[in-house]
Amino acid sequence: MTSAPTSVRLVEPADASALAAHLDRDAEELARWQPARPDGFATEAHQATRIGALLAGHRDGTGWPGVVLAGTEVIGQVTVATILRGPLQKGFLSYWIAGTHHGHGHARRAVALTLRVMAGELGLHRAEAHTRTDNLASHAVLRANGFTSWGIAHRHIRLGGVWHDEIFWERHLTEE
């Protein structure tokens, strides 16, 4: 089966409805990998407010909040957060894809496209990411995009009331 082409773009206020629908439908699966969300997180109103805050961070230069598209359909998010300038020139990459679109390569392609944004538009030198040690799908996505692991943070993130270890990943975006 051929899936629609993958692209990424800056999130827009009009994306709130699609994001809310995916987050609501996939809440149980996403809870395995993401921190607890406040009540109402998966509503269009909350997502609209969140998008406004993300875009404010983009205007301030501290983040690049994107959406992942399959053709013209919003199917997930990709975010460059905690952008640090000065001598570090790095950003932290995170992403999720709606469960209905798993297994079609969208995450791998979205990460590749976002790395281009990080190196080009954002002028960053380094990309970082964290994954739980048991998130094998994300390990494969990151490895396919040239990331290497550089350590394990023990009891690094609390999910579902339990502390989990995470692998730290890095990718240099420039040759210098």
Strands (DSSP E) along the chain, which ranges? 6-10, 64-70, 73-84, 90-97, 126-132, 148-159, 162-172
* All residues at 6 or more sequence positions from 133 whose CB lies less than 8 Å from its CB, including other chains: 152, 164, 165, 166, 167
Q: Which residue has the tokens 């149980």?
A: 28
Q: Phi, psi (5° rounding) for residue 56?
A: -65, -40
pLDDT of residue 5: 95
pLDDT of residue 38: 77
Three-class SS state of 87: coil
User: Residue 27 corresponds to which tokens in the numbers above?
Assistant: 């809440």
* All residues at 6 or more sequence positions from 175 whose CB lies less than 8 Å from its CB, including other chains: none
pLDDT of residue 34: 77
DSSP assignment letter at 2: P
Q: How many CB atoms lie within 10 A of CB 8?
A: 23
In this structure, are strands 126-132 and 162-172 parallel, antiparallel, or unpaired? antiparallel
Q: What is the pTM of this model?
A: 0.93
Cβ-defined contacts of 152-157 (< 8 Å, 24+): 156/130, 157/35, 157/130, 157/132
pLDDT of residue 27: 80
pLDDT of residue 160: 83
Domains by residue range for the chain, with CATH = 6-128 (3.40.630.30)
pLDDT tens over the chain, length 176 residues: 457 899 999 999 999 999 999 998 988 787 777 777 878 888 999 999 999 999 999 999 999 999 999 999 999 999 999 999 999 999 999 999 999 999 999 999 999 999 999 999 999 999 999 999 999 999 999 999 999 999 999 999 888 889 999 999 999 998 86
Length of the chain in terms of residues written: 176
pLDDT of residue 4: 86
pLDDT of residue 2: 53
